Amino acid sequence: MSSAESSGEPIAPRSSQAERGADTRMDWWRNARFGMFIHWGLYSPAAGKWDGKEAAGAGEWLLTNAQVDPIAYREALLPQFNPVRFDAAQWASIAKDAGMQYVVITTKHHDGFCLWPSDLTDYDVASAPFKRDIMKELADAVRADGMRMGWYHSIMDWTHPDYLPRRGWDKRPTDGASFDRYVAYMHGQLKELLTRYGQIDVLWFDGEWENTWTHDWGKRTDDFVRSLQPQIIVNNRVDVGRAGMAGFSASETARGDFGTPEQTIPTTGMPGRDWETCMTMNDTWGFKDSDTNWKSSRTLIRMLCDIASKGGNFLLNVGPRGDGTIPPESVERLKAIGAWMRVNGESIYGTHASPFARPLPWGRVTQRAGGAAGAGTTTLYLHVFEWPTDGVLRVTGLANDVVSASVLGATPATAAGAGVPPGATTLLTTRDSGGVAVATPRVAPNADCTVIKLVIKGAPDVAPWFIGPDARGAVVCTARDATTTGSIAFEERFQNLGFWTDPQSTAEWTVKVPQPGLYALAIEYAAEPGAGGTVEFVVSSTVAGGASAATTKTRGTLTHTLPARASWGDFATVELGEIDLPGGALVQVRARAARMAGSAFANVRAVTLTPMPVVP
């Protein structure tokens, strides 16, 4: 194992400036996997209250949540910004000890307050009692600890007189306001942020969804940022067309290096796409003392494993208090994650998404090719959430020969159990037609998540994942089981596929039935008035192509008009026609919106293939 792969170590040295699109530019970010998000500003001392009254919603949204006049907000809160206990080195060491490899802080959030001394506004830290250049102190401390520095920057600005549209309660006249001038101001501020603080590694835009921001502004801003810092990594919120909180861009031509799921984790891996889930530990980004709905350390550790197993990064938020300290509840959780990472970081840093298309019943998997385990091997890291009670962990569908198996960080005591020789740290494995079975200790060495390191010969040879018939012979393809492209994503709300806003995006299911036959294809969907359209299904199967590789054969297409329904939650099932399924072969059922009546197509909950009665 190289030092960069070992737990808790800083990542590889900064790469030289690479061309946009060149993979090396993204290397450090893909390896890092885990970063700290910091939301800090005037709302922090307010702690969720305006005029002594608690405001509902996230702390950093105080101005909007309490419908405060922007001038009154500024006059009340700017004099209060004096975080005398702020210690950049301490923040950096909290992030570092948690195993985080980069830090992204709000240079300016939606309220418009600037945490660095800006020449272009008085609404900044230099005009507050505190005066210090927080951005410089933090960037220096973060780099001193071997981490990377990123800026969050809000496009939406509730206070700047040229930003449009105005909040409904904001009585300042819009006459004379110029959005072009606002963008010039924002670019001037970005220039300060990207020329005064050395190499900035990430620019994390937000607040891009109001109608004044356009694809053209996105392109120009992206080009401008890259002209100042060619190696920088920019999120997809620089451009328009983000598909809700699921966070992927609807268009292939949208700018941005990575998708930004917010408070949500995709249901599957996303081959070929870079993404980062940002998440709070409680329910607010900016500090709010009434919010005590903390996720447990166990939940956060498992989220990190889940995200890594799907090939994403985890940007975990802290909301420091008005005095400059990170809440103890957050520090405690970061310490627990750090303790886990010191033992298990090897299974997270620099690993790739699971070779299994879907999570295994007991947990998650990441992988690393070659490395210290030797050329021609692959290391699978089995993240076990549900420890086996029968002493056997089944890795179903894995056909490779096993080189070795061990518990990460194991001592002879933790490895003891059925099938484990006394004093050994290796685990016994067996392989049969069903896959690999690992003999496990009776008690989970780590109740939050134990990692079993399984070294196999060659690249992973995993049985393809498919949906088989249920007891009635019907093949039920749920939204959760879909493999999606483009903007389409699973939504918890109605357990549906949503954000179906782009005709290029697809949802696909792989199915297999034992016997050939005719199946009726039905779709369960909802669409609000004005939406709906024409769905096109292409059914194809993979057939062995003689001596050459397998080829795909189209088995038929079905198109059908789906009329709008009463709402996005008003589901109905419609039968579209019949398809002929081969027996014993993998069949791909792919849906696309051939025509969209409105700006979005439909919420799709399931596609069902029901066997037709055999006519005698």
- Contact segment (CB under 6 A) with ligand H79 among 58-66, 115-123, 366-374, 463-471 equals 58-66
User: In angstroms, what is the minimal distance from the CB of 375 to ligand H79?
Assistant: 42
Site for ligand H79 in 316-335 (CB under 6 A): none
Query: Contact letters (x/-) for ligand H79, 186-225, by CB under 6 A?
Result: --------------------x--x----------------
Cα angle: 36, vertex 40, 45; to 5 degrees: 140
Q: 160 φ, ψ to 5°? A: -60, 130
Beta carbon nearer to ligand H79, 113 or 519: 113
User: In angstroms, what is the minimal distance from the CB of 319 to ligand H79?
Assistant: 10
Beta strand ranges found along 99-201 (DSSP E): 102-108, 148-154
- Contact segment (CB under 6 A) with ligand H79 among 57-65, 68-76, 162-170, 555-563 equals 57-65
Give the max Cα distance, the chain. Answer: 88
For the CA atoms of 188, 193, 194, 198, the dihedral, rounded to the nearest 10 degrees, stands at 150
| 278: Cβ contacts below 8 Å, ≥ 6 apart | 37, 260, 261, 262, 263, 315, 316, 317
Site for ligand H79 in 283-312 (CB under 6 A): 285
Beta carbon nearer to ligand H79, 288 or 555: 288
Beta carbon nearer to ligand H79, 248 or 349: 248
* Residue 362 exposed, middle or buried by CB count within 10 Å (0-12, 13-18, 19+): middle
Beta carbon nearer to ligand H79, 233 or 467: 233
- Rounded (10°) angle between helices 134-144 and 88-97: 40
User: In angstroms, what is the minimal distance from the CB of 61 to ligand H79?
Assistant: 6
User: In angstroms, what is the minimal distance from the CB of 390 to ligand H79?
Assistant: 43
Beta carbon nearer to ligand H79, 313 or 483: 313
Beta carbon nearer to ligand H79, 9 or 283: 283
- Contact segment (CB under 6 A) with ligand H79 among 56-64, 327-335, 390-398, 408-416 equals 56-64
How many Cβ atoms are within 10 Å of 529's Cβ, its own excluded?
13
User: In angstroms, what is the minimal distance from the CB of 44 to ligand H79?
Assistant: 13
Site for ligand H79 in 228-257 (CB under 6 A): 244-245
Query: Contact letters (x/-) for ligand H79, 380-419, by CB under 6 A?
Result: ----------------------------------------
DSSP states of 267-299 as a string?
A: SS--TT--BEEEE-SSS-SS--TT---PPPHHH
How many Cβ atoms are within 10 Å of 351's Cβ, its own excluded?
25
**Count of residues binding ligand H79 (CB under 6 A)?**
10
Q: How far apart are CA 90 and CA 99, in angstroms?
A: 14
Structure tokens at 218: 């996105």
User: In angstroms, what is the minimal distance from the CB of 56 to ligand H79?
Assistant: 14
Beta carbon nearer to ligand H79, 211 or 548: 211
Q: 189 φ, ψ to 5°? A: -70, -40
Q: How far apart are CA 585 and CA 498, in angstroms?
A: 29
Q: How far apart are CA 94 and CA 589, in angstroms?
A: 48
Beta carbon nearer to ligand H79, 62 or 591: 62
User: In angstroms, what is the minimal distance from the CB of 285 to ligand H79?
Assistant: 4
**Nearest residue relative to ligand H79 (C-beta):** 209
User: In angstroms, what is the minimal distance from the CB of 348 to ligand H79?
Assistant: 22
Residue 607's H or E segment, with its range, is strand 603-611
Nearest alpha carbon to residue 211 among 178, 241, 174: 241
User: In angstroms, what is the minimal distance from the CB of 279 to ligand H79?
Assistant: 9
Residue 570's H or E segment, with its range, is none
For residue 278, state whether it binds ligand H79 (rule: CB under 6 A).
yes
User: In angstroms, what is the minimal distance from the CB of 242 to ligand H79?
Assistant: 6
Q: How far apart are CA 227 and CA 221, in angstroms?
A: 10
User: In angstroms, what is the minimal distance from the CB of 206 to ligand H79?
Assistant: 5
Q: Which of 32, 36, 47, 58 binds ligand H79 (CB under 6 A)?
A: 58
CA atoms within 13 A on the CB side of 419: 17
The 3-state DSSP class for residue 88 equals helix
- Contact segment (CB under 6 A) with ligand H79 among 54-62, 183-191, 223-231, 302-310 equals 54-62
Report yes or no: 61 and 39 within 8 Å, Cβ to Cβ.
Answer: no
User: In angstroms, what is the minimal distance from the CB of 78 to ligand H79?
Assistant: 20
Report yes or no: 354 and 364 within 8 Å, Cβ to Cβ.
Answer: yes
Query: Contact letters (x/-) for ligand H79, 549-578, by CB under 6 A?
Result: ------------------------------
Site for ligand H79 in 74-113 (CB under 6 A): none
Residue 491's H or E segment, with its range, is strand 489-491
Nearest alpha carbon to residue 185 among 150, 226, 154, 227: 154
Beta carbon nearer to ligand H79, 20 or 493: 493
* Residue 411 exposed, middle or buried by CB count within 10 Å (0-12, 13-18, 19+): exposed
- Contact segment (CB under 6 A) with ligand H79 among 53-61, 116-124, 464-472, 585-593 equals 53-61
User: In angstroms, what is the minimal distance from the CB of 373 to ligand H79?
Assistant: 38
Query: Contact letters (x/-) for ligand H79, 147-186, by CB under 6 A?
Result: ----------------------------------------
The 3-state DSSP class for residue 24 equals helix
Q: Which residues contribute to the site for ligand H79 (CB under 6 A)?
A: 58, 60-61, 206, 209, 244-245, 262, 278, 285
